[in-house]
Structure 1
């Protein structure tokens, strides 16, 4: 078996620990604090997040979408594939190195989604981008960390707090969709979304489309 090769290593802003990019043959892995955060062989649930959220807004005139977390580009690629040419997709990524990896080592994995003219990359905390302007987005997708159980950056917790949920609701247009990916189900978080006035659907999807670990996606509609 081919050994893993370390391609790059950076520190996550805000004392989030060390983030490392590995390659083994045609497979890539990103780990944080020596725990694998994502693997290029398992992105079925990230694809599903974009497919489910964008499918609900793609018929709107000039849909505007915000993605929190670039990862390996799979959520962005799926969003672009499920939106028309009239869409506009903003990606907020906290770690600049992840953007650079997606332009170099990882570029071909998802078909160079950063080169799509509909894409705008913001090297920023998505929580700050969300708060910039009210009723801006038709959909907001959070593919940040491990979901409500934050792993890489303690500040990510505020995305999933009552304040973070209300900020996302304010940033959405009427009828907008807040889509959230999580490695695990979280009953308390579902209640938190409903308590904020969202109409909530919870979907279980596989990490590799039809097999692998089960992940959770929340689709919360601003009513």
Structure 2
């Protein structure tokens, strides 16, 4: 029998420029839902940590590399990067003001408090595609986790990020030998092909075992430069 505590309930709902974003509690878990699409929760964080670690490992010991994390979410990727003193500058691009607010003074505050206070951390409130297109900054690694995968985007606007124009922007902001890491809820051979067509090298996919169903994956590639 389901108890009232086990029934999901909404903590906060915001209407933003990209649609509705919701923070929901389900038992002990906090969940983020965008436009009715489940994005992530506080249950594990293993795949988000692997996203960061896989990118670092692919840099082959580069000293104090700078990383851009696309999507703040519940903060697993940021917290993990900030806990690793080997990283240099850590830039997080998050387009939803509500998500940033939930971390600053809301239910998600405790998950990234140390990371937010870390002098290496910068939070940029912007659409990731626009930031990659417009920024003059460069990075050693891009860790992108803004959708459920290249073939399962939260909004149609995100589709371009995984196509020729978006991948060209990723390549432009990567320093020579830099690494692109993209989280996905399922493998995408089509995206691997898009990476190769965009000139990326060492394209590969690492699986992340899950309790049931198709494994999560991280798509990895080295920039053309």
TM-score, structure 1 as length reference = 0.88
Which residue in the other structure is 2:17 paired with?
Answer: 13
| Compared CA separation, residues 205 and 163, structure 1 to 2 (3 A) | same
How many residues are matched?
A: 217
Greater relative contact order: 1 or 2 (C-alpha under 8 angstroms, separation 6 or more)?
1
43 and 212 in structure 1: CA distance in 2 versus 1, 3 angstrom threshold? farther
4+ long deviations beyond 4 Å: none
CA–CA separation in structure 1 for the residues paired with 2:137 and 2:128: 16
- The answer for the alignment partner of 1:202 in structure 2 is 205
Cα distance in structure 1, aligned partners of 2:20 and 2:136: 34
Distance 1:65 1:24, change over 3 A: same
Change in 2 beyond 3 A, CA 1:35/1:125: closer
In 1: Cα distance, 2:8 partner to 2:175 partner: 44
Contact residue 65 and residue 137 of structure 1 kept, 8 A: yes
CA drift at 1:131: 2.4
Runs (5+) with no aligned partner, structure 2: none
Moved more, 112-121 or 175-184: 112-121
Asked whether the equivalents of residues 153 and 159 of structure 2 are also in contact (C-alpha less than 8 Å), the reply is: no
Residue 29 of structure 1: aligned partner: 31
Query: Is residue 102 of structure 2 the alignment partner of residue 101 of structure 1?
Result: yes
Q: Does the C-alpha gap of structure 1 residues 112 and 149 become closer, same or farther in structure 2, counting only changes over 3 Å?
A: farther
Give me the whole-angstrom Cα distance separating, in 1, the residues matched to 2:72 and 2:195: 23
Cα deviation per residue 1:60-116 (whole Å; 9 max; x = unaligned)?
3442111111000001112223342x6101100010110111222112235542222
Taking the aligned partners of 1:52 and 1:182, their CA distance within structure 2 comes to: 14
In the TM superposition, 1:110-149 aligns within 5 A as 110=112, 112-133=114-135, 136-149=138-151
Contact 2:79/2:111 (CA < 8 Å) preserved in 1?
no
- Long gaps (5+) in structure 1: none
Q: Structure 1 or 2: larger helix share?
A: 2
Deviation, 1:184, is 1.6
